[in-house]
Amino acid sequence: MIDRRNALKLALGSAAGLAAPRVWAQSAKPRTRIVFLGTKGGPRVGVGPSNPANLVMVNDTPFVIDCGMGVSHQLVSAGVPLESIKYILISHHHSDHNLEYGNLVYNAWATGLSTPIHSFGPKGLEAMTRTYWELNKFDIETRIEDEGRPDLRKLLIAKDITEDGVVLQTPDVKVTAFRTPHPPITDNFAYKFETPDGVIVFSSDTAYNPKLAEFAKGADVLVHEALYLPWVDRLVTRVKNGATLKKHLLESHTAAEDVGRIADAAQVKVLVMSHLVPGELDVTDDDWRNEARKTFKGRIIVARDLMELKLPL
């Protein structure tokens, strides 16, 4: 006797057999994940870790946070088709966070972008976008004419953020901006992602700011920049402007021990340290963790390039 399921199989023929594994694969895939694309703080390009950039993937929709040099390459390495990018968020206009902003969108166009990308960032992003079109006018217009591509300038919708609050809401995700000081920069935003699988907060570059703990209160994941103080102290003895440099670093960034304080006050489930200074691997994961462990007893992850964190935790 043929039961209902077998009858269906017979009726659908081999197509049903082919479709089944794909359905299984989709349901097994996590809906939300974070990929740490570039984990080294600062603008210097090296052979080691890539410059700052992160990815949040929710139901196959990519949100790119910061566009340090190398972000396009890192996205490709993470298996994300560039033309699938829908949202870009820039935290502040230091070059290690925006240098590849225009080029990422351009690279997405080169791989067949046909749907809009919405970008958000502090004041200056809209102007930067217009200027990028000027810079690349010749090539863009040549390819539209010569290759029949859509007009890239109409596919990127940039929006300056001027105040705290909700910047973006999709059926799945709400993104909220929160200003945090990064002297001398004040137009600098941390971002909170509320997803179906948990809350993720990115600190941006920031001075030690206890208010960030309120913003990140109860988050599942806090991705916070971190400075390794013993390295700063070694650096100070090596360079002429050591004292000034140390002062600058401490005024505009957060030492790992203080990062732990923020995570502890916010009671986050997981603390991820990224935008590491120094980013090179001579400071080990244990070195980083030991600093933050002094003040935070929860789970600590030291982000490395292309590492993935799946949600729910």
Neighbouring residues of 43: CB distance < 8 A, sequence distance ≥ 6: 51, 68, 69, 94, 95, 96, 99
Q: Which range touches Zn ion (CB under 5 A), out of 39-47, 136-144, 242-250, 287-295?
A: 39-47
Judge whether 98 and 69 are in contact, CB under 8 Å.
Answer: no
Least Å distance, CB 49 to Zn ion, is 13
Q: Is there binding between residue 40 and Zn ion (CB under 5 A)?
A: no
Q: What is the identity of the amino acid at 114?
A: S
Encoding tokens for residue 79? Answer: 């298996």
Q: Which range touches Zn ion (CB under 5 A), out of 7-15, 55-63, 140-148, 203-211?
A: 203-211
Least Å distance, CB 224 to Zn ion, is 12
**Distance (Å, rounded) from C-alpha 137 to C-alpha 62?**
27
Of 66, 96, 220, 258, the one binding Zn ion (CB under 5 A) is 96
In the chain, DSSP finds a helix count (H) and a strand count (E) of: 12, 14
Of 39, 62, 72, 205, the one binding Zn ion (CB under 5 A) is 205
State the binding string over 44-83 for Zn ion (x if CB under 5 A, else -).
Answer: ----------------------------------------
Least Å distance, CB 275 to Zn ion, is 6
Q: Is there binding between residue 192 and Zn ion (CB under 5 A)?
A: no
Least Å distance, CB 113 to Zn ion, is 27
Burial class (CB in 10 A: 0-12, 13-18, 19+), 124: middle
- The smaller minimum CB distance to Zn ion, of residues 41 and 49, is found at 41
**Distance (Å, rounded) from C-alpha 266 to C-alpha 31?**
25
Q: How many residues bind Zn ion (CB under 5 A)?
A: 4
Least Å distance, CB 186 to Zn ion, is 12
Least Å distance, CB 172 to Zn ion, is 28
- The smaller minimum CB distance to Zn ion, of residues 89 and 140, is found at 89
Of 40, 94, 179, 192, the one binding Zn ion (CB under 5 A) is 94
- The smaller minimum CB distance to Zn ion, of residues 109 and 189, is found at 189
**Distance (Å, rounded) from C-alpha 75 to C-alpha 55?**
8
Encoding tokens for residue 128? Answer: 């930067």
Burial class (CB in 10 A: 0-12, 13-18, 19+), 229: middle
- The smaller minimum CB distance to Zn ion, of residues 144 and 229, is found at 229
Complete edge-to-edge strand list for the sheet that includes strand 87-89: 156-161, 117-122, 87-89, 61-65, 53-58, 32-38, 307-311
Q: Where does this chain bind Zn ion (CB under 5 A)?
A: 41, 94, 96, 205
